[in-house]
Chains A and B, each alone.
Chain A
Amino acid sequence: QVQLVQSGAEVKKPGASVKVSCKASGYTFTSYDINWVRQATGQGLEWMGWMNPNSGNTGYAQKFQGRVTMTRNTSISTAYMELSSLRSEDTAVYYCARQNYYDSSGYSALLDYWGQGTLVTVSS
Chain B
Amino acid sequence: DIQMTQSPSSLSASVGDRVTITCRASQSISSYLNWYQQKPGKAPKLLIYAASSLQSGVPSRFSGSGSGTDFTLTISSLQPEDFATYYCQQSYSTPVFTFGPGTKVDIK
- A: residues with CB less than 8 A from B are 33, 35, 37, 44-47, 50, 59, 61, 95, 97, 102-103, 106-112, 114-117
Interface assignment of B91: CB less than 8 Å from any CB of chain A: yes
- What are 23 A-to-B residue pairs whose CB atoms are below 8 Å? A33-B95, A35-B97, A44-B87, A44-B99, A45-B38, A45-B87, A46-B99, A47-B97, A59-B96, A95-B43, A95-B44, A103-B50, A106-B94, A107-B30, A108-B91, A108-B94, A109-B94, A109-B95, A110-B49, A110-B89, A111-B97, A112-B46, A112-B55
Interface size of B in residues (CB-CB distance below 8 Å): 26
A110→B92 CA distance, assembly (Å): 11
A45→B94 CA distance, assembly (Å): 17
A111→B87 CA distance, assembly (Å): 12
Known: A45-B87, A45-B99, A50-B95. A108 touches B50 (CB 8 A): yes
Q: Nearest 3 A-B pairs (CB), nearest first?
A: A114-B43, A109-B91, A45-B99
